[in-house]
Structure 1
Amino acid sequence: MADRQQIHVSMFTWIVAGVCLFYLLINFLLMHWVVVKPSARFTNDENHLNATLAMILKPRWTGSLGHSQVRDFLLQELWELGFHTERDEFEDGVAFTNVMGTINPEAPNFLLLCCHYDTEYLTNAEGFVGATDGAVPCAILLNMAKTLGPYLREELRKRMDIGLALVFFDGHEPMPSDPKDSNVLRGSKRFVEMETLPLESIEVAIALNFIGAPAQAYMSHYDSTYGLHNRMTEIELNLRESGQLAQCHLLFQKLKDHDTDLPDDHYPFLDEGVPVMHLAPYRYPEVWHTAADNAAHLHWPTVLNMNSIIRQFVYEYLESHDDDTTFRVDS
């Protein structure tokens, strides 16, 4: 009888120990998942990217029919994607229009991404559509908004600490009456002067340009956002290792190129102390300001990979935002 009771106690002890080990294992796996939670996977929508790019790839110098068509398309697309839309019309010889879409327009802080949608009027490049010079960056921003749509509408809108702003500048290119090769940047200067979005609310202004040519490399241009640039490089490596990128050379380099930079719409923000990132290669594409800057000469692996990297970066920035986030030089 005593032996039987001892066997029951022993079995009970082993059962209890097994249950404890089971719960310890479950807790370990849960904690491990929290610590090494995999990168969020978002479904690529290449059909949307291609359709968007097709709508933008047309001659669109300020005042042309193509320009007004692209402007209206940007506004309609942002509205359909759930953004609060604004258009700022101003004149400087001719009429210009900046376009902005925001999620959480009343937020005290914003991540701002921008590019220009106009093309230069080139008499020596009939049919110039500026694929790398504006069209691809515009398409990337709209596609990012489309593929992040559920997160932006269902989760970000519940937050009060951070908002997202997408800005499409007009007047980036000089008009025929302007001095040759002048950096007029009418749209971005207007945006900063009028504070279309309060400058103190912009945590980082990220300008995209000259994206889509082959053999491009992206380096950090400003020390204040070097950490964000490095995060871009890590995201690219993570996406590459998980098989989410197209076969392509490494785009982002953990290198500082703080002494040179191509002029672009981030300059007015930089002058006002807003932290900036310039997502542009270290040199102009070979097709720059020629009729060859078209869809046929785009390096699609670069376009697709930049699209995936930027989308993941925007998601991570918004999702991990807290009140201590700041990159301001004067902070």
Structure 2
Amino acid sequence: MPPNGALLKPFLVPRTVGSDSHQNIQDFVRQHFQALGWHFETDRFQRDTVIGKKVFTNLIATANPFAKQRIILCAHYDSKIDFMDGSQKVTNFVGATDSAWPCALLLELAASLPRGSDDLTIQMVFFDGEESFLDWSRSDSLYGANHLAHVWSGSAQSHQRLDKIKYMMLLDLLGAPSPKFYSFFQDTAPVFQKLALAESDARRKGLLRTPRRLFITEQSIMGRQHGHYYVEDDHVPFSMRNVPIVHIIPTPFPSVWHKKHDDVTALDPDTCHDLALIIHTVIHRELAA
């Protein structure tokens, strides 16, 4: 997917919770999935935050809501409000890697992947309120993920029950050049291995554009050690409820993380192309198996 693609452009704006552009994104995502004929729903709720009451809206699209099991692909669509980067105040933060391009990738995958079968389908979740309003803490972050995990914990609907999730693949901070990805969780190490093998196959066939490996298998970083999650993100409330997690986030973070210049210029077309191809390959094989 080119970094200036039609599916990406609507996300390349500040998308702070409650703003007009935040609402525009909700409309854009809904229209995309309705055009594809997917089942679309929202999880809308109000929360007290460190800067007052806010209304959040998680967006959920399911290819086949009647399937026995589902793979979830997800990202957050909100962007960070004005913040300080050292002595400089960052305003109108776009967050191209965080997470405009991951969201655009989900839309592209939805349009190009098969819907699966009655045994296994794909679901996509766009989390709201991942970013903190002031300083990251357990009470000021992951608003949407925390709420949705709680709601789904008590759901009786088959397309929402947590025990029907084969695994959740969370995409974050993607699109910058030269990322390195590691396996954080032992129970989903086989899925990570499939990503690495898909990359190797594509490189051997000359289908990739980047010069260095993206998915590193020589090291495995255990995500949960003595109750600690290696990278806190929207997966945490689901992992705490025993949902298998594949966390696709570069380690270390891209240099543009929470910087003013995390805009379209931060996106590397070759990296975007290769990540889209690799993830598409693995999920397509899962759904077609």
Is the structural similarity TM-score above 0.5? yes
Q: CA contact under 8 A between 1:116 and 1:168: conserved in structure 2?
A: yes
Residue identity matched to 1:52? L
1:162 matched to 2:120: yes
Q: State the match for 1:268 in structure 2.
A: 237
- Give 1:1-331 correspondences, 5 Å limit: 46=1, 50-92=5-47, 93-123=53-83, 124-148=89-113, 151-152=114-115, 156=116, 159-176=117-134, 180-183=135-138, 184-195=141-152, 197-254=160-217, 255-258=219-222, 261-320=230-289
By how many angstroms is 1:215 displaced?
2.0
> Residue deviations 1:247-266, cap 9 Å, x none?
33210011201157221111
Higher strand share: 2
Aligned residues: 265
1:108 counterpart letter in structure 2? K
Name the SS for the 2:130 alignment partner.
coil
- Higher fraction of helix: 1
Q: Give the partner amino acid of 1:258.
A: M
Q: Which amino acid aligns with 2:75?
A: C
Q: Could you say if the C-alpha distance between residues 136 and 189 of structure 1 is closer, same or farther in structure 2, counting changes exceeding 3 Å?
A: same
Alpha-carbon distance in 2 for matches of 1:284, 1:228:
22
Give the secondary-structure state (helix, strand or coil) at the position aligned to 2:8.
Answer: helix
Q: What is the CA deviation profile of residues 156-176 of structure 1, one whole-angstrom value per residue up to 9, with x for unaligned ones? A: 3xx311121000000111224
Greater alpha carbon shift after TM alignment, 228-237 vs 48-57: 48-57
TM-score normalised to structure 2 length? 0.88
Task: Name structure 2 gaps, 5 residues minimum.
Answer: 48-52, 84-88, 224-228
- Deviation at residue 82 of structure 1 after TM alignment: 2.2
Distance 1:108 1:188 in 2: 23
Which residue does the alignment assign to 2:86?
A: none
Rg larger in structure: 1
Q: 1:47 to 1:215 in 2, by over 3 A?
A: closer
Distance 1:318 1:173 in 2: 31
Q: In structure 1, what residue type is equivalent to 2:220? A: K
Q: Tell me which amino acid in the other structure corresponds to 1:314.
A: I
Deviations 1:254-281 (A, max 9, x none): 1201157221111011100111110001
Q: For residues 268 and 215 of structure 2, what CA distance do their matches in structure 1 show?
A: 16
**Structure 1 residue ranges (4+ consecutive) displaced by more than 3 angstroms after TM superposition:** 46-49
CA positional deviation for 1:49: 7.1
Q: 2:11 touches 2:100 (CA, 8 Å); kept in 1? A: yes
Overall identity of the aligned pairs, in %: 32
C-alpha distance in structure 2 between counterparts of 1:232 and 1:49, whole Å: 25
Distance 1:47 1:223, change over 3 A: closer
**3-state secondary structure, aligned to 2:119:** coil
User: Is the partner of 1:52 in helix, strand or coil?
Assistant: coil
TM-score normalised over the length of structure 1: 0.77
